[in-house]
Amino acid sequence: GAVVSQHPSWVICKSGTSVKIECRSLDFQATTMFWYRQFPKKSLMLMATSNEGSKATYEQGVEKDKFLINHASLTLSTLTVTSAHPEDSSFYICSVSSGLAGNTIYFGEGSWLTVV
C-alpha cells in the first residue's frame, strides 16, 4: 500500500499564530490528496480535497481563509492553520488515493495540534 508521511506528528502553538502541516506521498505521485479533521472519539470529517496545481475544494462549513491548502507538487500537500484558536485543537490527517479501481484511501500518521 501507499506510504503517506505527515509532519509534524505533534505541535503546540500559541493562539493567534499559524501552523503548517505537511503531507507527503512517498510511493507515488498523487494529484489528489485529502485533508481530514478528527475530534477525540469522533469520526473523520473531510475538510478539503487538495488538487495538484489548482485550488483546493473545500467542504461546506470549512473556512478557506483559515485552513490554507497548497498542493504545489505531486508528492506534497500542506495545510496551514492560520490565526489558530484553541477550538482548532484537533487531530488532522491527510490521505491520498491509490488511484486503483475503487480508489482506496491511504492515511498519513496524523498531526495532533494543540493551541494554547
Partner 1 sequence: GQQVMQIPQYQHVQEGEDFTTYCNSSTTLSNIQWYKQRPGGHPVFLIQLVKSGEVKKQKRLTFQFGEAKKNSSLHITATQTTDVGTYFCAGPVGGGSNYKLTFGKGTLLTVNP
Q: Is 23 in the site for partner 1 (CB under 8 A)?
A: no
Say if residues 108 and 44 touch (Cβ distance below 8 Å): no
Nearest residue (CB) to partner 1, 18 versus 59: 59
Cβ-contact 91, 36 below 8 angstroms: no
8 Å CB contact between 23 and 34: no
Q: Considering the complex, what minimum distance in angstroms separates the CB of residue 34 from partner 1?
A: 6
Nearer to partner 1, 17 or 104 (CB): 104
| Residue closer to partner 1, measured from CB, 31 or 82 | 31
Site string for partner 1, 45-84 (x = CB under 8 A): -x--x-x-----x---------------------------
Which cell is 8 given? 509534524
User: End-to-end CA distance of the chain, in Å?
Assistant: 36
Per the listing, cell 473556512 goes with 63
Q: How far is the CB of 116 from partner 1 (least distance, A)?
A: 20
Do 58 and 109 meet the contact criterion of CB atoms below 8 Å apart?
no
Member of 32, 70, 80, 82 binding partner 1 (CB under 8 A): 32
